[in-house]
Amino acid sequence: MRTQDTQPQCNGGCADSSQFSIAMAFQPVVDVAARRIYAYEALVRGAGGEPAASVLAQVTEAQRYAFDQACRVKAIETAAGLGLDRRLNINFMPNAVYHPEACLRLTLASAKQNGFPLNLITFEFTENEQIIDRQHLKGIIETYRRHGFQTALDDFGAGYAGLSLLADFQPDTIKVDRCLVDHIDSSKPRQAIVVGLLKTAEMLGLEVVAEGVERAEELAALRDMGIHLFQGFLFARPVIGQLIPDHAIPW
Q: What is the pLDDT of residue 171?
A: 93
Torsion of CA 162, 168, 174, 178, to 10 degrees: -10
The rounded distance, in Å, linking the Cα atoms of 89 and 63 is: 22
Cα 79 vs. chain centroid, distance in angstroms? Answer: 15
Model confidence band, residue 4 (pLDDT cutoffs 50, 70, 90):
very low
Residue-range domain boundaries for the chain: 20-248
CATH code of the domain occupying 20-248: 3.20.20.450
The rounded distance, in Å, linking the Cα atoms of 28 and 30 is: 6
Q: pTM, whole model, 2 decimals? A: 0.90
Q: What is the pLDDT of residue 5?
A: 37
The rounded distance, in Å, linking the Cα atoms of 47 and 240 is: 10
Closest CA to 179 of 227, 214, 229, 217: 214
Name which residue leads in pLDDT, 201 or 159.
201
Is the predicted pLDDT of residue 184 greater than 60, yes or no? yes
Whether 79 contacts 116, CB under 8 Å: yes
**Mean pLDDT of the region 30-39:** 98
Cα 122 vs. chain centroid, distance in angstroms? Answer: 7
The rounded distance, in Å, linking the Cα atoms of 81 and 68 is: 20
